Amino acid sequence: MRLPELRELLLQQVSAFNRFEGLSPSTMAPNVESAFYALNGTLRERMRRAGTVVEATAEALHDIAQLYRRADGQV
């Protein structure tokens, strides 16, 4: 798997967590509902951050590869 594909998968998970926003199953006790939404928000933010880190890593690796190409006279 390539880094851009990994980033897309992570962002798809962010979308999945967004679908839970505003849902209020009647079977949840209020404290369970609060914990659920707190966890959902935390996981969503972690996925979003992971996507950002993967994107930055991909860009850095691209820049490093370009640097080596220049050093080898390939560019």
Distance in angstroms (rounded) separating the CA atoms of residues 39 and 13: 14
User: How big is the CA angle at 31 (ends 28 and 35), to the nearest 5 degrees?
Assistant: 90
3-class secondary-structure state, position 37: helix
Distance in angstroms (rounded) separating the CA atoms of residues 41 and 47: 10
- pTM of the predicted model, to two decimals? 0.76
Model confidence at 55: pLDDT above 90: yes
How does pLDDT run across 18-46, given as a tens digit for each residue?
Answer: 887 666 666 778 788 788 888 888 999 99
